[in-house]
Amino acid sequence: MNKFVKECRREWKRLRVPDAVANEMAADLAADLEEADAEGASIEDVLGSSAFDPRSFAAAWAAERGVTQPSPATGKPARGSIPLATIVAAAIALIGAAIVILTTTSAHGVAAVPSRPALPAPPQILEPHGHVPAVDAPTLGLLLLVMGVIGIVTTLVWILRTRAGSRPGPLAQ
């Protein structure tokens, strides 16, 4: 079977197109491509630019047939969830950046003040139950900043991959 048809079948399987429909589309396509080949025409003569993107071609065809079943793992999320995830990640990054900047600035400000005689350290209060390790503000800020940036990058990569995987052919819109 033609390599292009094999790629299409793989995509239809991924999209959970019923076997009967996938077999029918594959048979029609294979027959047309074989006829074109026998006449000396290339696959590009039959499919144009779609010849270079079997996944998009197969997905567009299945979608127009109305047989695409998005699986729970690959289904699209709700329309508002992507912008919301991006906003949350950006907010976390901003908060982290603000903490880092403020704490760094104040630390420098303290350093510029003339030194005073050291005061005796306050007595430590011992907690009888449990102990929560203290995290200083710059570390917390840096942590939030990194988490936010990772969130933004992950969301963007996901969006790009989703768009690339569902792009139909130029005339199939």
Partner 1 sequence: MAAAERRTQMLRGVLDLCLLAVMDEGPAYGYEMTKRLRARGLSIVGEGSIYPLLARLERDGLVETYRTASNDGPPRKYYHASCDGKRTLADGVSEWRSTRDAVDAVLGLLEPEVQP
* Contact range with partner 1 by CB under 8 A, out of 33-41, 107-115, 121-129, 142-150: 33-41
* Contact flag: residue 55 with partner 1 (CB under 8 A): no
* Contact flag: residue 138 with partner 1 (CB under 8 A): no
38, 150 contact by CB (below 8 A) = no
User: Who's near 40: CB < 8 A, 6+ residues apart?
Assistant: none
Neighbours of 70 (CB within 10 A): 10
- Cβ of residue 30: shortest distance to partner 1, in angstroms? 8
Task: Match 């080949």 to its residue by tokens.
Answer: 37
4, 61 contact by CB (below 8 A) = no
CA distances from 101 to 92, 95, 151 (A): 14, 10, 20
Task: Match 């396509």 to its residue by tokens.
Answer: 29
Query: Considering beta carbons, is residue 19 or 35 the nearer one to partner 1?
Result: 35
- Cβ of residue 104: shortest distance to partner 1, in angstroms? 50
Name which position in 23, 49, 104, 139 contacts partner 1 (CB under 8 A).
49
* Contact flag: residue 140 with partner 1 (CB under 8 A): no
Q: What part of residues 57-116 is at the interface with partner 1 (CB under 8 A)?
A: 57, 60-61, 63-66
Footprint on this chain of partner 1 (rule: CB under 8 A): 24-25, 27-29, 31-32, 34-36, 44-50, 57, 60-61, 63-66, 168-173
